[in-house]
Every structure is written in structure tokens, then in C-alpha cells.
Structure 1
């Protein structure tokens, strides 16, 4: 028999998915997003209910400001990080980050976008996410951040300019994504140089995030020839005792890699014009716990 939640907890739970989606977009970390949402619940449970006119708006403001505090310290940690720092991957086929029904919605949670958001100051990032991903007006954003509306407009224009890409980031249809990913996996496992050459863009970049916890490239591997040598050199790893599953990572097809029951990596792919332009391989065990729980619920 399911025991109903107390009214306050039930009200908070109705907002939790949206709050988690907001916190994740702001932080690029699922476990830190969970912490921020939990901190918001503690504040919500201890707040004067009469002073909370609209719980959803109050909670969004609370989560945003909690994330701003975390972002300030996170920037310092990223500077000392061993090797490339990548956002923590999240599987999105289960609606964890909300409905992703359009190319624009998928783009807003893509690994490419989250990497670009690292260029922004914490406040620019908050303005951009609230505007682009959640459709808040500049007036609403000004209230959340305790800034003037004019200042928010200026921050938004600056953020848009700093995350702009030279070409569209939207990816091909899901069936084509899966085909590219599975074909890439087969070519990498077989050390198929000719196959890889057809699949990889000339300016492809491979990013490995091991965080100093596991063996990983400490710098991005740039260019088709270097990436192919990197993959062919690691063909034994691809073909030996590792197994793979195709999963939806941050709105697009990706791969989860396993050794037995241990999740050892999650790869997201950037695709353009039928070829792979980027591979973001998260291998730091600290960044795989959330995906592991999504794939193997307790």
C-alpha cells in the first residue's frame, strides 16, 4: 500500500522534475543538481507559507540562486581539473529533463550546448537558460535574479553572442543518429580505418573526461587522422571485454560502455551533414553514477 505524501512534500514533488531540469542546465552536473533541488526543499519546508505567493516561482528563484552560488565555486574547480572537463551526461529518453519534442528542445540539453554554456559567467548562464529553455520573460528573469530588466536584456544578448555556433547544431533524425553511432562502433571495434574515415568529419574532435581517476587523453584529440589513430590504437579496448548499448544521451543517440556490470563510460556524439564532428566521452566514475541509476534502477 502506497502511503500518501504530506501535503507540503506532495506539492514540492509536483515541481521537482522542472526544478531538476533547471538546475542541471545551470550546473551541467546531475548530482549537484539533485543536491541543489534537495536544498531548495529544505528551504521550502522551513519557509513562512504566507510569504510564498506562487510556490513554483518561489522554488525556481530559490534553485536558480542556489545554483549561482555553486557555479561560482565550480568554475574554480574546473580550472584545476585534470584533463578536459565535460558536463555530466544524462539519459533523456525517460523524460528526466522534460519533454524534448523539437530539435530546439534537444539542442538546449545537448552536450554541445552545455559545453558552450561553460563560456558564460554564472549570471549570463542563468539569464540564458531561463529565457531559452524555460521561456521566462525578461521581467520574470529580473525578479528571479534581483536585477533590472534592462540589465537582463543586456546579459541575454551577450550570452547569445558567446554561445553562437557558426552553423546549426541540430542533429539528424533519430533513426539516422542510431545508424551513425552503431556504424561508428563497429568500425572502431574492427579498427576499420576506411570506415572511420567516411564517418568522421575532417575537423572532428574527441574529448575524454577521466578526471584523473581513469586513463584518458589529457587533451582533446583534434582532426580526423589523429582521432583515427587514437581509435585504432584503442581497438583492443573496443573489441575485448567491453560491451556497449545505444542510449539517448542529452537528447541524441550515444553509447554506454560496460565491463561486466560496471559502467565505465558514456559517449555523446555531435553530428553534422551525416558525419561525426565531436565525441564527448565521460569516463570519470564520479560522473557516471546518475546514468548508472537510470540504466539499472535499484
Structure 2
């Protein structure tokens, strides 16, 4: 069970990176808890079947695979078998295994882990206050009615929410097929994405904060004279702030390596902000030291961060870089 669950859990919670406990060789607390629950559920299911409560199909017939498992475990041969040896064989997926072993693998490992990655993402999202079905909310909720006036923007928002859950490296990049479907250029698509984000934040700040990842500050923005300029500037600012907040805000229980990486980015962004505020700083040197990049790559990374800081606001970004993210010890 642990071997089979490792991949889906790591993809769901750690973007495919390794998952480790602060000490020892175990997994993070959340993944350990999930796999323990899965093991207990499978054990309880097997125990119930051995006690006579065999699970049934929709037609009311006993599940044939579980019957095979129970018949073998109740046989005289099973009494003298080494459980550890069978456990090793259970982890393999090669052919040639005995029918009861294939049945055990299907009933006690394969089926309980179906859609584990998506189920984990959804459960984690709900636990942190996000929507269980954000696509349904955006398409049907009354508060989202203004967002549905722009089909392209709505589709971008739905895609963005699920990309954020999957921790896609560049979730705000509009895919080519979506642009082609709505006849948008890259520039137009980026603008529509920003406008949709600004509209979502205005329509439901709580949904925006929980599903996109930006903290809700509760402070309004004074509108410029030109309404179109207001939409554009607010969209660019909101998008930049969402990216920076996602980069700098730690998740509870994340690996120490991820927390250290965020601290490195906070140092680089703080240097960018210092330079933007007129103070002496060398962000490229900080990026070389903190991120382990060669100067050429560090310069490109700093340039991208500088664009985000400029769009988000130097003062706002400076405050974000100074605040210790949640879940990170002092």
C-alpha cells in the first residue's frame, strides 16, 4: 500500500518532489496519516469479509476477488505461510502470481487507491478552506454570475484553480488550445486572464484567497480616472501579488527543503525591493548565494522577480518578504 500510494501522494502534495519527515526516513505527517488511514480501511474491509460480511456487487453478488482472498486465508495452507514473503510479492505487479494474490492486490491496494491523487488534492483544498468543486461554483453560483459574462475568462479561471492545486510551475500561462478556441493572441489572453482575476477577487475575495492563494487584505484600491486603466492595472497587480504570495507563503507540513527555498526567495525579493526603494542592494549576488545559480541565470531570475515586484508594488512585496510564512519556525 505504501509503495503504491507514494507516487499519487507526492504528486498531490509535493509536486512530484520527495516527501520526508523532519527526522528519520518517514514521510511528512500528512502523507503518513493518509496512508495509515488507507491501510486501516483495507484491513477493516478484509477483517469484515473474513467475518462473513463479504462486499457485494451492484447486482447483490459477492465480490469474486474478495471471496478468493477469504477462501485462501481460511485454508489450511495459509496457516503455515510466511506473511512477510507474501507482502513482498504483493508489491510486485508482474504476471504469474496466484489468483488469490492478484485478487488481494486488486481489492486491498488497487481499488482503494483509485483517484487517490485527485481525492487528496480535493481534501487538502477543502481543509484549507477552498472549494471542493470550484468549477461548479464558478459555473453555477449566484455570486459568480458576472464572471460568466466572459466565457474565455471563466474558462481561464477554472483552469487556473486546478493548476494551482496541481502546483503547476507557471499556472497563469494561458495554454495555446484555449487561446485558439477563443481566438485570442497571447497578449489578449494575458490581459483577459488578469481581468478575470480582478473580477473574481472583487466578486468573492474569500474564494479568491482560498483557491488562488493570495491573502485577503481587506483594503480597497482607489480607482484611477480611466476605468479601463483601472481594470488593467488592478489585473496586473492582482496577478503579480498572487504569484508572489504563492512563492513566499509556506504550506503547513511542507518539507524543510521547500521552506528553505522559500526563505532564499524572500532574501532575493527583499534585495529587489531594497533596490527599488533606493537602498543599496545587489539582488543578483543574493540570488547567486541563496539560490545556487550562476550569475547569468541569477540575472534572468532577478529580472523576472523584478517585473513581479514592480507590478505588485514594492512596498507590498517588501512586506511579504519580511513576514515569516505560516508553518515556518522562527
TM-score range, shorter chain: under 0.3
Name which one, 1 or 2, has greater alpha-carbon Rg. Answer: 2
TM-score, reference length from structure 2: 0.22
Which structure has greater helix proportion?
2
TM-score, reference length from structure 1: 0.24
Which structure has greater strand proportion?
1
